[in-house]
Amino acid sequence: MPQTATTTKLYARVEAHEKDMVDLLSGLIRIPALGPKNDGPGEWEKAQWLRKYCETHGFKVEQYDAPDPSVPSGKRPNLVVRVKGKSSKRTLWIMSHVDVVPPGADKDWTETKPFEPRLKNGRLYGRGSEDNGQSLAASFWALKTLVEEGVKPTFDVALLFVADEETGSDLGLTWLLETHPELFRKEDLILVPDGGDEKGEKIEVAEKTILWIKFTVTGKQCHGSMPYLGNNAHRAAAKLTVLLDEELHKKFPDRDALFMPPESTFEPTKHESNVPNVNTIPGTEVFYFDNRILPRYTSEQALKVVDACIKRIEKETGAKVSYELQQHAPAAPPTPANAEIVQRMKAALKELRPKLKPTVWGVGGGTVAAIFRRQGFAAIVWSTYDELAHAPNEYAVVKNIVADAQVYAHLMTQPETAPKA
355 CB neighbour count, 10 Å cutoff: 7
Contact between 254 and 263 under an 8 Å Cβ cutoff? The reply is yes
CA–CA distance from 3 to each of 101, 167, 404 (Å)?
40, 41, 17
Helices and strands in the chain, H and E counts: 10, 18
Q: Catalytic: which of 131, 156, 164, 165?
A: 165
pLDDT value of position 366: 82
Backbone angles phi, psi at 98, to 5 degrees: -100, -15
Per-residue pLDDT of the chain (421 residues; tens, 9 = 90+): 556 666 789 999 999 999 999 999 999 999 999 999 999 999 999 999 999 999 999 999 999 999 999 999 999 999 999 999 999 999 999 999 999 999 999 999 999 999 999 999 999 999 999 999 999 999 999 999 999 999 999 999 999 999 999 998 999 999 999 999 999 999 999 999 999 999 999 999 999 999 999 999 999 999 999 999 999 999 999 999 999 999 999 999 999 999 999 999 999 999 999 999 999 999 999 999 999 999 999 999 999 999 999 999 999 999 999 999 999 999 999 999 999 999 999 999 999 999 999 999 999 888 899 999 999 999 999 999 998 989 999 999 999 999 999 999 999 999 998 777 6
Q: Catalytic: which of 43, 68, 99, 164?
A: 99
276 CB neighbour count, 10 Å cutoff: 6
Helix, coil or strand: residue 96: strand
Q: Which superfamily does 5-206+331-413 belong to? A: Zn peptidases (3.40.630.10)
| Pairwise CA distance, residues 268 & 287, whole Å | 8
58: left (phi over 0), alpha (psi -120 to 50) or beta: left
Domain 209-329 has CATH 3.30.70.3270: no
CA–CA distance from 125 to each of 27, 33, 112, 128 (Å)?
12, 16, 7, 9
| Pairwise CA distance, residues 155 & 265, whole Å | 41
pLDDT value of position 375: 95
Termini Cα distance of the chain: 10
Q: Is 156 a catalytic residue?
A: no
Return the domain boundaries, the chain: 5-206+331-413, 209-329
Q: Side-chain half-sphere of 1: how many Cα atoms within 13 Å?
A: 26
Contact between 359 and 201 under an 8 Å Cβ cutoff? The reply is yes
Q: Is 165 a catalytic residue?
A: yes
Contact between 390 and 101 under an 8 Å Cβ cutoff? The reply is yes
CA–CA distance from 57 to each of 20, 81, 96, 132, 162 (Å)?
11, 11, 19, 21, 20
Helix, coil or strand: residue 76: strand
pTM: 0.89
